[in-house]
Chain A
Amino acid sequence: MPKPLKELLDPRQAAESVASTQVWKSIFRHGYPDSPRNRALTMISNVFLHLHPIRMKKHGLRLRYTWCMGGLTFFLFLIETITGLLLMFYYRPTPEYAHYDMQYLREDVPVGITREIHRWAAHAMVITVWLHMFRVFLTGSYKPPREFNWGIGVFLLVFTLLLSFTGYLLPWDQLAIWAITVGSNMARATPFLGHEGPGASLLKIGDLNLVHAGDDAKFGLLGGRFVGAPALLRFYVLHCVGFPLLLATLIAVHFWRVRRDGGISGPA
């Protein structure tokens, strides 16, 4: 057998000869990752993998310790970003079109499970954030030096819920507008800032109420007295741009700090 053919048939040699081509070397700055040196290089020379350390304590690898919940939350966030982008091709955030576009997505778009994946992954993400927080609490991982990252985490939790909440309105069906109505009705009871909140009626100049249904916290949230076209647009912008950007930024900080604080927590 000619030598090149023999090399190709032996997987080990084949891998090594691929790893020594100019193309491979231009992409990966290391040889085939089977030596400690090359495995370390794999982790640090790849922008995505370098989130991880080169080596870590064994207990931190165990599923029974981290439940991989933070990682899965991040993975679900990525799935949401991709499917969300696809959904945006088909969706117009106005009362005339929103519900119609949803029906179209449901019935006519080929391989029509994008909306399903987006919706179920959103539910799942809320659950995984909670379980991640649960795990972090039960392993005492908020204790020094990780106090700050725990705080970042609390904001991640809040923004995950708000991201989900703003998305809830977009189908523009009965479920959507009434759920958002129930939710946003709480805002009108904000102390001092909502027109049905304690203290709001004390804020007046002469007979003029400063806080009323036309300018209170609920109005600011919805862009109107009721859930209508301005609310839909607001929620759409926040859902597709505002909260994802906020979340992505905070996740970057969160991951950075996990590394800076010494990696996955462990016994002293």
Chain B
Amino acid sequence: MGFLRDLVNAIFTGPTLGPVLIFTISVGGVLALLRWYRVLTRPKVAGAALVAAVVAFALSLGDHNFRLIVAKPDNVPIVMLFFLVGFFTWLALRQAALNDERIEQGKPPREAEESEKSLTWPDLVYIEFLSTVFVTAALLLWSILLKAPLEPPSNPTETPNPSKAPWYFLGLQEMLVYYDPWMAGVVLPSMIIVGLIAVPFIDPNSKGSGYYTLKERKFSIGMFLFGFVSLWCTMIILGTFLRGPNWNFFGPFQRWDPHLLFPLVNVDLSEYVWVHWLGVGKPNSILLREMPGFLAVIAYVVLVPPLFAKRLIPVDIAAKIRGSGLPKALGEVLAAPFAAKAFFAEMYQRLGFVRYNVLMLLVLSMMSLPIKMVLRWTINLKYIVSIPEYFFNI
């Protein structure tokens, strides 16, 4: 046990490896679910995963530092969030797996077999009543066992370290590591809201309405799982349990040492281009200095959508790579970009100009976060465009 704990602590020390591991696990987990959901949601497999999670959690509770943070009364809901999101993802994908199998056999989804009507009194009212009784009981128990905390009276001169936003906004606070407040706190949240409202209008797929399925809606469900589970919920869990003083990253069994300092070696893109690559020093003109960054951002936002939409390369090239006799895994990896390109070209045909571009803007905004994360982790890139004079950093 002690050995395991030391190993985890050793891995998680430092500002980079921890977040890299966490996001790799959460993104990889969602990708694996999308690919192998039929196997992974089988009761035996999912049950084993649940048992493993509960056992790991219970064993971890034996550790003093872990308990100190996880058992804080206000952090209990985030532990619940972890298990509930896991459970309901399973419940939905399990039903999707069963339905998809039925649909392949030419049968309608399970929901369609229960389309005869039943009286809401007593059937529905009964279920609702039981649910409320259950929730009331749970809430009373929770309230009796855990007292709502009250810290010392507010004191504007004494800043706690760390100062954390309420837990449901910790995703935004975590984004502050990679983005300035105007992006993390204003622009991206607004994009999330607008994007959610736009969902029904940019998803013209008429299949998969009113029953669980994954096969018929892989792209939309994949995007949602990625945004909600791999990014949003993961950032909340990371921000609550693993971010300590000075917003440093701490392993689950580490002591939150307020004196820990990591030297920041972050570099802006302009520095890379003008100083490191061209060796001429940064130009004085802001516009010239930031030109590489502007070009990169404009290329990302303006050029990527049409590039993906046009059929520049033969549609079947992915199939050719796969069938070319290369080892299977290698063939898959090489074919993936072309398959994605063909997928988006087809999407453009289906969505039309306006919807396609709105969709792409939203997808690219969401993807800009993991892209910035990876750039930070690999080449210490801080800002792509950096004009601190006008608080304009991207």
Contacts and interface: CB of A to CB of B under 8 A. Distances in A.
Contacts of A190: 182, 186
A258 B200 CA distance: 16
Contacts of A52: 120, 124-125
Interface in B94-152: 95-96, 108-125, 127-128, 131-132, 135-136, 139-140, 142-144, 146-152
A115 B391 CA distance: 42
Contacts of B143: 113, 116-117, 120
B197 A154 contact: yes
A164 B146 CA distance: 19
Contacts of B146: 116, 120
A103 to B, nearest CB: 7
Interface in B39-96: 74, 77, 80-81, 84-85, 88, 91-92, 95-96
Nearest to B195: A154
Contacts, number: 277
B330 interface: no
B150 A168 contact: no
Contacts of B119: 36, 39-40, 54-55
Interface in A179-193: 179, 181-183, 185-191
Contacts of A106: 147-148, 150
A29 interface: no
A189 B124 contact: no
Interface in A191-225: 191, 194, 196-202
A8 interface: no
B154 interface: yes
A28 interface: no
Interface in B370-389: 387
Contacts of A158: 193
Nearest to B180: A189
A117 B140 contact: yes
A195 to B, nearest CB: 9
A52 B147 CA distance: 37
Given A65-B111, A140-B209, A172-B153, A72 B135 contact: yes
Interface stretch (A19-27, A121-129, A247-255): A121-129
Q: In which size bucket is the chain B interface?
A: 35 or more
B199 interface: yes
Nearest to A131: B88
A238 interface: no
Interface string A146-172: 110011001001100100110010011
Contacts of B387: 198
B305 to A, nearest CB: 23
B21 interface: no
A144 B203 CA distance: 10
Nearest to A172: B154
Interface in B185-238: 185-187, 193, 196-197, 199-201, 203, 205-213, 217, 221, 224, 228
A246 interface: no
B182 to A, nearest CB: 4
A53 B120 contact: yes
Interface stretch (B9-17, B166-174, B260-268, B332-340): B166-174
Interface of A (DSSP majority class): helix
A196 B85 CA distance: 37
A143 B166 contact: no
B115 A191 contact: no
A97 to B, nearest CB: 11
Contacts of A172: 153-154
Contacts of B153: 99, 172-174
B125 A59 contact: no
B322 interface: no
Contacts of A36: 119
Given A56-B124, A116-B143, A165-B169, A102 B209 contact: no
Which of A99, A138, A164 has the most chain B CB atoms inside 10 A of its CB? A138
Interface string B353-372: 00000000000000000000
A182 B114 CA distance: 50
A123 B167 CA distance: 9
Contacts of A142: 199-200, 203
A147 B198 CA distance: 9
A56 B154 CA distance: 52
A56 B118 contact: yes
B193 A126 contact: no
A58 interface: yes
Interface string A26-62: 0000000100100110110000010011111111011
A267 B111 contact: yes
Contacts of B208: 140, 143
Contacts of A256: none
Interface of A: 33, 36, 39-40, 42-43, 49, 52-59, 61-65, 67-68, 71-72, 75-76, 79, 95, 99, 102-103, 106, 113, 115-117, 119-121, 123-124, 126-127, 130-131, 134-135, 137-144, 146-147, 150-151, 154, 157-158, 161, 164-165, 168, 171-179, 181-183, 185-191, 194, 196-202, 226-228, 265-268
8 contacts: A67-B88, A68-B128, A71-B128, A140-B217, A161-B169, A186-B186, A196-B391, A266-B112
Interface of B: 74, 77, 80-81, 84-85, 88, 91-92, 95-96, 108-125, 127-128, 131-132, 135-136, 139-140, 142-144, 146-156, 158-160, 163-169, 172-173, 180-182, 184-187, 193, 196-197, 199-201, 203, 205-213, 217, 221, 224, 228, 387, 390-392
Given A117-B143, A138-B212, A182-B164, 10 more contacts: A33-B121, A43-B121, A56-B118, A59-B114, A123-B74, A134-B224, A137-B221, A194-B182, A266-B112, A266-B115
